Amino acid sequence: EEEDTPITRFQQYLRFKTAHPNPNYTAPISFLVDQAQSIGLTTRTIEYVSGKPVLLVTWLGSNPKLPSILFNSHLDSVPAEADKWIHPPFSAHRTVDGLIYARGAQDDKCIGVQYLESIRNLKSRGFSPLRTVHISYVPEEEIGGFDGMAKFAASSDFTELNVGFAMDEGQASPGDEFRVFFADRTPWELVIRAEGIPGHGAKLYDNGAMENLMKSVELIAKFRETQFDFVKAGEAANSEVISVNPVYFKAGTPSNTGFVMNMQPSEAEAGYDLRLPPMADPDVMKKRIAEEWAPSIRNMTYTIKEKGKLRDHFGRPIMTATNGSNPWWSVFKQAVEATGGKLAKPEILASTTDARYIRTLGIPLVGFSPMINTPILLHDHNEFLKDTVFLKGIEVYESVISALSSFEGVSDQAI
């Protein structure tokens, strides 16, 4: 019989098969409900979209009128190519060196368990919070959160939580400073299409669909290079520039064996993953797309699917202040430092999380996954987390949760 410790509970949570395209949500939720109830926390499961439950765990504060603190994590994981792993991705195998291998070990099942374990420890020490603490477990983050956090954040259930400050996942740090994130980049799905007259494969002529698409592909590649050059020159971080990466090309006339080789097609299309940092001007980007990347004079059209907002309703870039103007930030920073930890310079996250839905509401949110001296392995083969790093994270959250939930606020500000 396996012993019951924070590590074995982490392993149990890691063994649920939560990878897309068929994530199991019911089993991990019933595990989390059991855990939360054994600690004496209340739980509520809400389905905004059928089969895609959100779990809300609550620790009531002594003054529930004060804005609450929310700790979020997602239930789902990206797929794993099992044959390319040294241990099966849902085995949560722990090596003699303490490395726990699992898809989700870093992204982001670690924090999901650490939140609960830290509260377990705080409770056993007799700590009780002034502010109410909520933990949310949401589905569908890895595919954009549209049926998960997007719906939850837009619900009256969420408004009623009266969240004053929130935390969500961050990323591992290869060095010895904890990384923290004050913004995400906003993803756009860009598709550019070209049309042209078809023709014999042997003919040289202008304005073919392929030729027109290729011109754009080259222009986009040049733009990509200018952005990447800033990064390579050390002038900007990856997450501070606009990235645009081709994700598919679609063209050609199908045949039984592949493609017809002596026909120039009448349509061609390319798809791009485009990400904008919060300071980027979306209108400048749109103008560039319309005038340079997909101009109608080259018979081109385009569609942009914006998967998030760059500006709040005051027109300000969506980001959380990490200076003295945000009292929550100071409380958080001091709480991490009280554990002997050091914070790296706050960063923008290169990718995108559910944090954007909460920041868009005007709620300050810091992205944070306490993992130092750990290689960044999210979405990679052989994702692992060292047991000692996981345990240290529990201690960090004990400090963070007790400090934030005890924060009395600033008298002239309604927080």
- Chain residues binding ligand FME by CB under 6 A are 142, 144, 187, 307, 351-353
CB neighbour class for 340 (10 Å; exposed up to 12, middle 13-18, buried from 19):
exposed
Residue 141 falls in the annotated catalytic set: yes
Give the tokens for residue 16.
């649920």
**Which one, 131 or 275, has the nearer CB to ligand FME?**
275
**Which one, 93 or 309, has the nearer CB to ligand FME?**
309
Residue 306 falls in the annotated catalytic set: no
Tally of CB atoms within 10 A around 392: 19
Q: Which of 108, 117, 140, 141 is the catalytic position?
A: 141
CB of 106 to Zn ion, least distance (A): 8
Give the tokens for residue 90.
């849902």
- Binding segment for Zn ion (CB under 5 A), chosen from 49-57, 99-107, 279-287, 316-324, is 99-107
52 bridge partner residues? 49
Picked from Zn ion, ligand FME, none, the partner binding residue 351 (CB below 5 to 8 A depending on kind) is ligand FME
Picked from Zn ion, ligand FME, none, the partner binding residue 326 (CB below 5 to 8 A depending on kind) is none
> Would you give the end-to-end CA distance of the chain in angstroms?
48
**Which one, 144 or 327, has the nearer CB to ligand FME?**
144
Picked from Zn ion, ligand FME, none, the partner binding residue 108 (CB below 5 to 8 A depending on kind) is Zn ion
Under 8 Å between Cβ of 275 and 242 = yes
CB of 110 to ligand FME, least distance (A): 15
CB of 143 to ligand FME, least distance (A): 7
Nearest residue to 89 (alpha-carbon basis) of 390, 376, 384: 384
- Torsion sign (Cα): 234, 239, 242, 245: positive
Tally of CB atoms within 10 A around 128: 13
Tally of CB atoms within 10 A around 44: 12
DSSP 292: I
**Per-residue contact track with Zn ion, 165 to 204, x per CB under 5 A?**
----x-----------------------------------
CB of 378 to ligand FME, least distance (A): 8
- Torsion sign (Cα): 98, 101, 102, 103: positive
Under 8 Å between Cβ of 29 and 45 = yes
Q: Is 147 in the site for Zn ion (CB under 5 A)?
A: no
Sequence ranges of the binding site for Zn(2+): 74, 107, 142, 169, 379
The footprint of Zn ion (CB under 5 A) covers 107-108, 169
Active site residues: 76, 141
